[in-house]
Copies of this chain bind each other. A is one copy, B any other.
């Protein structure tokens, strides 16, 4: 069987990215799809829409709804959601660390652990101490990892990943992009994206749009 693949674009400040990060590895294994974790920053993309923060903070009713929706959905996964005091958080350092870690084999575990700290323990993910503790737990040298994350290479990589997300038409997180260029937005679309990636999502009714 040819190997199917899916790019998983996520942002560390994003609540719905959390729901996908904690689910995607098991679901992808089941669907026999190789998933590539691609952290990026939503901030520059939101700025292009004229927003200076999350739309959940700008639009009150939408924000109020989102927090309740998160409680219900996390409960459905057997997880207890905890709303952090700060939202949206600054995920810059976490995203750089994740990129460094993805090249070194610990990026996925690190990403899951950061999202759990943020949305299950309500922690601040711009706290270098918290990030260091997570790294240590993963048997990664925090100093080495933080140095790598601050390198010019990783800084440039995060910028180019964010630019690529925008070029792909991504406007929110999580988003999923298949090898044939189909974009799926939102945790609600994870299963559909995996089915598409593994060749089970297409129907004769759905020709690719121009």
User: Which A residues contact B (CB, under 8 angstroms)?
Assistant: 49, 59, 61-62, 64-65, 67-69, 71-72, 74-76, 78-80, 169-172, 182-186, 188, 192, 201, 203, 205-206, 209
Contact of A170 among B61, B72, B183, B201 (CB under 8 A): B61
* Contact in complex: B72, A206 (CB < 8 Å): yes
Chain B residues lying within 8 Å of A71, measured Cβ to Cβ, are 206, 209
**Complex formed: what's the CA distance from A209 to B59 in Å?**
19
Chain B residue nearest to A201 in the complex (CB): B72
Chain B residues lying within 8 Å of A183, measured Cβ to Cβ, are 65, 68
Nearest Cβ on chain B to A207's Cβ, whole angstroms = 8
Number of copies: 2
**Complex formed: what's the CA distance from A80 to B203 in Å?**
11
In the complex, 27 of the A-B residue pairs with CB atoms within 8 angstroms, ordered by the A residue number, are: A49-B59, A59-B171, A61-B170, A61-B171, A62-B172, A64-B169, A65-B169, A65-B171, A65-B183, A65-B185, A68-B209, A69-B184, A71-B206, A71-B209, A72-B192, A72-B206, A74-B205, A75-B203, A75-B206, A76-B203, A76-B205, A76-B206, A78-B205, A79-B205, A80-B205, A186-B188, A188-B188
